[in-house]
DNA sequence: GCAAGGTC
């Protein structure tokens, strides 16, 4: 078969054809783009689109994501056998899928051809294939391939149908099986260990995405709790020019010792002047932002309104279902060139809130609408944009906020750069190597900030300076500070981290973060995200017995295997078999230690008391009298004195006092320092 | 019941 003739035109087929879309919205768009005319019927409340003519009957039906899910009837572990089952039969949270399943049974009955028209990505290939496998006939199946739901592209794709993309399907099936095998088996191992220790069932979980995410949070918060602050000294100046006062910071940053800071400060005080070494003023042009993908929208809604990523995602999904915005679960920062931007703008202009902005945009662009785009792409969906449909008057305020972000961002991407003048002056302080700088900026053209004003830079204009000019110093500020611990993670920073290491997807990242809270691994306090003793314990246990699962590299390995399946270098059965072997041998090594692990986790759950208690916190003590966290804090506290005595020349006791008092000190370190001062913990060499 | 991945 040569290349060209391997394509099949829908309109060359004869008989009864069913087209399967991934979701109702897509089914509707496919029907109106591809069918010359259709009748819309409803089965179990699910719309089907039917065309009859030219010896052909075509029905467009729709899934609602995955209709089938892996499951097993077996309990216990290791469990290596499973089968695909309708999701609503194995999980009552999926009951809303049942009507789609029933409508698909109707739509697939007695067909001559089955066309998988789900999103052209690995999951879409699986969704369509399983429906055809269980409700149709894979021997009579074809695949439609399109990367956007625009009418022209859809029509074209149905003229160039191919055979089923079996390589992609096999890769997709393997992804499901690998995640299931690792997730279900390790989760069961943890739960079973606790059950053996205390005879009670507790729900615990582990997985390829959630466990590395938990490990990341554990690592961040552990470093924070173990932070030893070091004294640092910040020297800044206030200079005066044309009766304007300007603050200046030291270019080399902070001093490590007070004596050095004092030396420089006193020289400047004596001289009373600094000299302008350099002054630069440049106009910078800042191009419009990229169109939103979900992660960027979540980031902005968090930054501007404090919405959690999950909240933003839920709102965006509701806006999508009300047809106000395009598909939100996308990674793309690109807008389809086939989209009628002008029409959307005209519709947006019917909303008084945007009328003026649209008029302004059309006038500044002269109607030539070319969006700025970012590098990120998505195989199945474009960036998020407003559809132009007018929101109802009673749209809840939080939904309106997210909608407004999407509209304003969409307007901004067509606009012009804003222009800002950035100023930078460098003063030499008359001490070799000691320079200070001030920066200022002021806006000279608003550009896209008119539409998307959430980024408006602060105006901090400073006077202009001449090189060589002497400037009077009116203040010399020497501040004693402490080195700061790493920031506490937030739901948003966790999600951004997941994006940066490429684990999870747009649809799942925010949800998986919520799962960590729901399991009791993480909790929210007034301070922000905290990790619980259970969360720490789970990471320690998995890190010891199933270390692969705590690392993002497992995802990289999966991706490599899936790619190899796709290009025919290996097969799904080989990849899955290897995973089973790996899991078997890990579980084999886990078994003899299971009781101990169960007890440890039960202690973390507060279900049993530790055999010996940490003198500071009451957690299970190691061989000494402290838990592993306070022991590590104790070790670092002793180690930290070296540096403190170099910088400050303090006694050990004064060092402890200062560390105990500092607000930058990590929680565990502070607790140890206080205990040593009280005498409840002795310092040994 | 446990994963991650779709989507109502």
Q: Give mean pLDDT, residues A354-363.
A: 96
Exposed (0-12), middle (13-18) or buried (19+): which is A356, by Cβ within 10 Å?
Answer: exposed
The answer to whether the beta carbons of residues A26 and A326 sit under 8 Å apart is no
C1' of B5 to CA of A428 (Å): 59
Cα separation, A629 vs A670, in Å, equals 12
CB proximity list for A3: less than 8 A, separation 6 or greater: none
The answer to whether the beta carbons of residues A417 and A285 sit under 8 Å apart is yes
Is it true that the peptide bond before A78 is cis, omega within 30 degrees of 0?
Answer: yes
Model confidence band, residue A2 (pLDDT cutoffs 50, 70, 90): very low
Cα separation, A112 vs A114, in Å, equals 7
Model confidence band, residue A187 (pLDDT cutoffs 50, 70, 90): very high
Give the model's pLDDT for residue A3. Answer: 47
Instruction: Find which nucleotide's C1' atom is closest to A183's CA.
Output: B3
C1' of B2 to CA of A279 (Å): 63
Instruction: Find which nucleotide's C1' atom is closest to A191's CA.
Output: B2
Which residue has its C-alpha nearest to nucleotide B4's C1'?
A: A179
Instruction: Find which nucleotide's C1' atom is closest to A203's CA.
Output: B1
Which residue has its C-alpha nearest to nucleotide B2's C1'?
A: A184
Give the model's pLDDT for residue A150. Answer: 78
Which residue has its C-alpha nearest to nucleotide B1's C1'?
A: A203
CB proximity list for A629: less than 8 A, separation 6 or greater: A222, A225, A536, A617, A619, A668
Asked if the Cβ of residue A97 lies within 7 A of any atom of strand B, the reply is: yes
Which residue has 């920031």 as its token pair?
A487
C1' of B2 to CA of A570 (Å): 29
Closest residue by Cα to residue A506 from A312, A301, A374: A312
Asked if the model's pLDDT at residue A283 lies above 60, the reply is: yes
Q: How many CB atoms lie within 10 A of CB A657?
A: 15
Q: What is the DSSP letter of A55?
A: T
pLDDT digits (tens, 9 = 90+) for A174-186: 999 999 999 999 9
Model confidence band, residue A428 (pLDDT cutoffs 50, 70, 90): very high
Give the model's pLDDT for residue A514. Answer: 96
C1' of B5 to CA of A140 (Å): 26
Asked if the Cβ of residue A247 lies within 7 A of any atom of strand B, the reply is: no
- CA dihedral (A42, A47, A48, A52) positive or negative: positive
Burial per residue of A39-65, b for 16 or more beta-carbon CB atoms within 10 angstroms, e otherwise: eeeebeebbbbbbeeeebbbbbbbbbe
Nucleic strand B contact set for A 154-193 (CB, < 7 Å): 175-176, 179-180, 182-184, 187-188, 191-192
Question: What's A145-190 look like in SS3?
Answer: CCCCCCHHHHHHHHHCEEECCHHHHHHHHHHHHHHHHHHHHHHHHH
Alpha-carbon separation of residue A682 from A605, A668, A673, A675, A685 (angstroms):
30, 16, 11, 9, 10
Structure-token pair, residue A558: 């999966």
Structure-token pair, residue A526: 């007034």
Asked if the Cβ of residue A378 lies within 7 A of any atom of strand B, the reply is: no
Asked if the Cβ of residue A460 lies within 7 A of any atom of strand B, the reply is: no
Q: How far apart are the first and last CA of chain A?
A: 79
C1' of B3 to CA of A187 (Å): 9
Mean residue pLDDT of chain A comes to: 93
Strand partners, A240: A245, A472
Asked if the Cβ of residue A208 lies within 7 A of any atom of strand B, the reply is: yes
Query: In this structure, what are the phi and psi dihedrals at residue A270, rounded to the nearest 5 degrees?
Result: -65, -45
Q: How many CB atoms lie within 10 A of CB A673?
A: 25
Asked if the model's pLDDT at residue A684 lies above 80, the reply is: no
C1' of B1 to CA of A605 (Å): 18
Model confidence band, residue A685 (pLDDT cutoffs 50, 70, 90): low
Structure-token pair, residue A512: 């998986």
Model confidence band, residue A623 (pLDDT cutoffs 50, 70, 90): confident
Asked if the Cβ of residue A331 lies within 7 A of any atom of strand B, the reply is: no
Cα separation, A205 vs A512, in Å, equals 11
Cα separation, A665 vs A483, in Å, equals 9
Closest residue by Cα to residue A116 from A129, A101, A103: A129
CB-facing half-sphere around the CA of A597: CA atoms within 13 A: 23
Q: Give mean pLDDT, residues A508-515.
A: 96
Beta strand A46-53 with A56-62 is antiparallel
Q: Which of A232-236, A317-321, A494-498 has the lowest mean pLDDT?
A: A317-321
Asked if the Cβ of residue A550 lies within 7 A of any atom of strand B, the reply is: no
Give the model's pLDDT for residue A647. Answer: 84
Cα separation, A226 vs A222, in Å, equals 6
User: How many residues appear in chain A?
Assistant: 685
Model confidence band, residue A5 (pLDDT cutoffs 50, 70, 90): low
- CA dihedral (A389, A391, A392, A393) positive or negative: negative
C1' of B1 to CA of A388 (Å): 44
C1' of B7 to CA of A613 (Å): 49
Asked if the model's pLDDT at residue A431 lies above 90, the reply is: no
Instruction: Find which nucleotide's C1' atom is closest to A190's CA.
Output: B2
Beta strand A141-143 with A162-163 is antiparallel
Give the model's pLDDT for residue A1. Answer: 40
Which residue has its C-alpha nearest to nucleotide B6's C1'?
A: A65
Instruction: Find which nucleotide's C1' atom is closest to A70's CA.
Output: B3
Give the model's pLDDT for residue A614. Answer: 92
Asked if the Cβ of residue A512 lies within 7 A of any atom of strand B, the reply is: yes
Closest residue by Cα to residue A20 from A111, A134, A104, A138: A104
Cα separation, A301 vs A590, in Å, equals 44
Nucleic strand B contact set for A 21-80 (CB, < 7 Å): 22-25, 64-67, 69-72, 75-76
Residue A533's SS3 state is: helix
The answer to whether the beta carbons of residues A61 and A107 sit under 8 Å apart is yes
Which residue has its C-alpha nearest to nucleotide B8's C1'?
A: A96
Q: Mutual orientation of helices A341-349 and A397-413 as an angle, nearest 10°?
A: 130
Q: Give mean pLDDT, residues A325-353.
A: 91
Residue A620's SS3 state is: strand
Asked if the model's pLDDT at residue A474 lies above 90, the reply is: yes
Query: In this structure, what are the phi and psi dihedrals at residue A50, rounded to the nearest 5 degrees?
Result: -120, 130
Asked if the Cβ of residue A508 lies within 7 A of any atom of strand B, the reply is: yes
- H or E element in which residue A384 lies: none
Sheet strand arrangement including A39-43: A39-43, A46-53, A56-62, A15-21, A113-117, A141-143, A162-163
Give the model's pLDDT for residue A78. Answer: 95
| Residue-range domains of chain A with CATH | 4-164 (3.40.50.140), 175-226+487-604 (1.10.460.10), 231-287+418-482 (2.70.20.10), 294-413 (1.10.290.10), 613-685 (no CATH)
Q: How many CB atoms lie within 10 A of CB A522?
A: 25
Asked if the model's pLDDT at residue A225 lies above 50, the reply is: yes
Name the active-site residue from A51, A327, A452, A521: A327
Structure-token pair, residue A111: 């067909």
pLDDT digits (tens, 9 = 90+) for A115-158: 999 988 899 999 999 999 999 999 999 999 987 777 888 899 99
pLDDT digits (tens, 9 = 90+) for A544-577: 999 999 999 999 999 999 999 999 999 999 999 9
Closest residue by Cα to residue A358 from A341, A372, A339: A341
Structure-token pair, residue A47: 């719309």
Query: Mind giving me the DSSP string for A207-242?
Result: -TTHHHHHHHHHHHHHHHHT----EEEEEEEEEEET
Model confidence band, residue A518 (pLDDT cutoffs 50, 70, 90): very high
Q: Could you say which nucleotides of strand B lie within 7 A of any protein CB atom?
A: 1-8
Instruction: Find which nucleotide's C1' atom is closest to A25's CA.
Output: B7
Cα separation, A228 vs A220, in Å, equals 14
If you average pLDDT over each of A88-92, A516-520, A605-609, which comes out highest?
A516-520
C1' of B5 to CA of A66 (Å): 8
Structure-token pair, residue A15: 């008989």
The answer to whether the beta carbons of residues A405 and A301 sit under 8 Å apart is yes
The answer to whether the beta carbons of residues A103 and A20 sit under 8 Å apart is no
Q: Give mean pLDDT, residues A480-492.
A: 93
A327 in catalytic set: yes
Strand partners, A325: A386
C1' of B6 to CA of A69 (Å): 10
Which residue has 């084999």 as its token pair?
A588
C1' of B4 to CA of A320 (Å): 23
Instruction: Find which nucleotide's C1' atom is closest to A515's CA.
Output: B3
Asked if the model's pLDDT at residue A4 lies above 80, the reply is: no
Asked if the model's pLDDT at residue A261 lies above 80, the reply is: yes
- H or E element in which residue A285 lies: strand A273-286
Q: Which of A77-81, A634-638, A680-684 has the lowest mean pLDDT?
A: A680-684
């Amino acid at each position: 078969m040569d290349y060209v003739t391997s394509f099949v035109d829908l309109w060359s087929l004869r008989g009864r054809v069913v087209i399967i879309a991934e979701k109702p919205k897509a089914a509707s768009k496919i029907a109106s783009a591809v069918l010359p005319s259709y009748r819309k019927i409803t089965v179990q409340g699910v719309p089907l689109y039917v065309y009859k003519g030219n010896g052909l009957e075509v029905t467009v039906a729709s899934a609602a994501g995955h209709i089938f899910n892996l499951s097993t009837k077996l309990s216990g572990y290791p469990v290596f056998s499973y089968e695909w089952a309708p999701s609503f039969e194995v999980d009552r949270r999926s009951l809303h899928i049942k009507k789609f399943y029933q409508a698909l049974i109707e739509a697939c009955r007695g067909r001559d051809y089955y066309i998988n028209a789900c999103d052209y990505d690995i999951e879409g290939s699986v969704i369509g294939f399983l429906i055809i496998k269980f409700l149709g006939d894979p021997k009579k199946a074809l695949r439609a391939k399109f990367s956007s739901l625009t009418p022209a592209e859809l029509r074209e794709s149905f003229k160039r149908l191919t055979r089923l993309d079996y390589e992609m399907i096999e890769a997709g099936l393997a992804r499901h099986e690998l995640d299931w095998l690792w997730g279900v088996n390790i989760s069961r191992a943890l739960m079973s260990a606790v059950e053996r220790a205390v005879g009670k069932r507790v729900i615990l979980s582990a997985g390829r995405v959630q466990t590395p995410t938990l490990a990341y949070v554990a690592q961040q918060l552990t470093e924070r709790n173990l932070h030893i602050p070091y004294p640092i000294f910040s020297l800044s100046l206030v200079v005066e020019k044309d009766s304007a006062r300007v603050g200046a910071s030291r270019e080399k940053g902070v001093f490590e010792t007070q004596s050095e800071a004092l030396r420089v400060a006193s020289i400047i005080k004596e001289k009373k002047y600094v000299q302008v070494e350099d002054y630069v003023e440049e106009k910078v042009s800042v191009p419009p932002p990229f169109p939103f993908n979900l992660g960027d929208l979540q980031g902005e809604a968090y930054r501007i309104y404090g919405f959690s990523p999950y909240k933003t995602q839920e709102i965006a999904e509701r806006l999508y279902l009300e047809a106000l915005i395009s598909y939100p679960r996308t990674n793309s920062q690109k807008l389809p060139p086939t989209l009628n931007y002008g029409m959307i703008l005209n519709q947006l202009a019917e909303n008084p809130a945007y009328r003026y902005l649209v008029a302004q945009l059309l006038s500044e662009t002269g109607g030539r609408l070319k969006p700025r785009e970012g590098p990120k792409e998505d195989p199945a969906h474009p960036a998020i944009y407003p559809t132009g449909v007018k929101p109802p008057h009673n749209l809840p305020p939080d939904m309106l906020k997210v909608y407004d972000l999407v509209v304003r961002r969409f307007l901004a991407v067509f606009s012009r750069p804003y222009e800002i003048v950035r100023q930078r002056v460098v003063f030499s302080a008359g001490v070799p190597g000691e320079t200070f700088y001030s920066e200022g900026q002021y806006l000279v053209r608003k550009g896209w900030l008119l539409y998307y004003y959430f980024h408006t830079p602060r105006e901090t204009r400073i006077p202009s300076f001449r090189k060589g000019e002497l400037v009077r110093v009116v203040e010399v500020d020497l501040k004693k500070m402490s080195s700061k611990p790493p920031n506490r993670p937030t739901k948003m920073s966790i999600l951004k981290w997941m994006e940066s290491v490429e684990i999870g997807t747009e649809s799942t990242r925010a949800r998986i973060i919520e799962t960590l809270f729901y399991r009791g691994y993480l909790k929210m306090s007034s301070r922000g995200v905290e990790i619980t003793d259970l969360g720490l314990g789970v990471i320690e246990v998995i890190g010891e017995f199933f270390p692969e699962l705590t690392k993002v590299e497992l995802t990289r390995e999966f991706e490599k295997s899936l790619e190899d399946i796709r290009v025919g270098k290996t097969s799904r059965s080989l990849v899955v078999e290897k995973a089973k072997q790996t899991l078997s041998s890990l579980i084999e090594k886990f078994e003899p230690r299971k009781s101990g692990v169960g007890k440890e986790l039960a202690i973390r759950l507060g279900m049993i008391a530790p055999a010996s208690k940490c003198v500071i916190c009451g957690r299970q003590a190691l061989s000494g009298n402290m838990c592993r966290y306070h022991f590590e804090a104790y070790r670092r506290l002793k180690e930290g004195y070296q540096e403190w005595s170099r910088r400050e020349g303090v006694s050990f006791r004064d060092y402890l006092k200062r560390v105990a008092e500092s607000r930058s000190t990590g929680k565990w370190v502070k607790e140890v320092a206080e205990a040593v001062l009280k005498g409840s913990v002795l310092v040994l060499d």
